[in-house]
Structure 1
């Protein structure tokens, strides 16, 4: 068969299985097919269909098999409903698809912001980003260095209570890294200058750890 998918199919609201693979249908998946909410299997593979995957397929709760392979579809692949299950969704042979769940291994869509950045060598740049810590680091409190502009500043001093709380903060951070991360992380160079203090003198372990 050839031509466009008949819009009248949308009136078959009790349809459970629609298989029109290996034909010469062209055009888009019509919005009228959004009324076929009882579909359990939809096979449109090996046609000349084009356009984007309609979002209404995400809401077909009974759909257990979806095959859109070997057409001319394009654009962003939705990520909800059956389209988040690679074992039940087949979309290969559509070279202009982007996005989708990671298991489809499709390129990013142009409007997507890239999560990774690279260094000057082109390698992934890895960094831990912290909020600004107004009170600097623990080294500056334990061993302050006199500066010309410190004349009118209040001298920094950590009470025993402050020191004990900071020690507990650091211990909790290390316990989390060692015992509660999916991959255990060991901080190989812990020292006072890597303990950052926020407005309330709560300690945060900084510097890049190694796995």
Structure 2
């Protein structure tokens, strides 16, 4: 938690984390005294409280009596502690004799009473205002929900023209369109109802997306169910348009006719890291922060969409499953999971029911693909060979040989631009970059382990990826 803008004191609730081994709070704006409960952390091996605004006496027991494992420098108001800290001695303040006069006590009581009444009135006002705002918010959401018809979608997409076709999937096609309501650019997913399972996919997406609110999940704007111009059933979902397409298009760009002289677009290391974290945050939300845990079941690059700012959004909830709690644990609402070859976990192939660890496996494969540039279904993988084993066998010594050549080129260009730096600095930057790549690929390998019990939880994977980004 170092290098943030945390303020206030270290909360007493931290004392419950008795198994804590490392605690880094340096370079924040924390204040108050260093709590004594830190003395009683039996497993704490490293403590860094430097460069904050702590004050008062430093405790001298536990890890705080180990100068090599503890840092308190940069807190100019601290005193005492062990000699190695080189802090000034604490001045003992002598309390003045005598108490408050009766008049002063009455004045203080009166002031406290007045403030108590004011506080109660403010609390009631804020509570009532909040209820009103919630009502207005619900009303505004309802009013903002786009009302669309088949005719409006037909017009928005120029008759579902092939020019506006974005992608085609198992259950339907996605078109770019501009609705007349506010000239809103949208993505329209038209279900192919002839395809078996399309109707179920439509129902699953509606059920999943109606209650989801997260910056890394594609936002559904509306749905349309009716009849087309031929009188056939028509169902479509209207999504927020993602201007930069899918992650698949960036990882594996296709050369269009006439574009032979143009350099294929690619993602930088920083962009890949940010998108990987965006996807992890979306999965963490779906698995742990929805009223009913949601399993995506089909996480892959084509289902990760990028907006104008290259922020990753998880989309296509056609195979989603809901986990309902029972006395024997969480169970999915339906069976017969399909998923996609290469990304679906091995246990699904032998009939295991849907669970969040299946998404974790898919995330691990996605992470390995993002940083190696290799599809899990590439021709080089056959028999017992797969992307997971390929990366695992190469770590850590051969990391540069297996990562996406685009990233290797980025390293080389970075070194060329750093020619003005001393040679040892250039080498240090390269070594640091390689270590970061190793850490990322190790997370991907841990998430995509064959045996579910060996896989990370997505929350832990997300935390590790964020830690890597913060240390850049």
The TM-score by the shorter chain falls in which range? Answer: 0.3 to 0.5
Larger RCO, structures 1/2 (Cα 8 Å, 6+ apart): 1
In the superposition, the TM-score normalised over structure 1's length comes to 0.43
In the superposition, the TM-score normalised over structure 2's length comes to 0.20
Structure with greater helix share of residues: 2
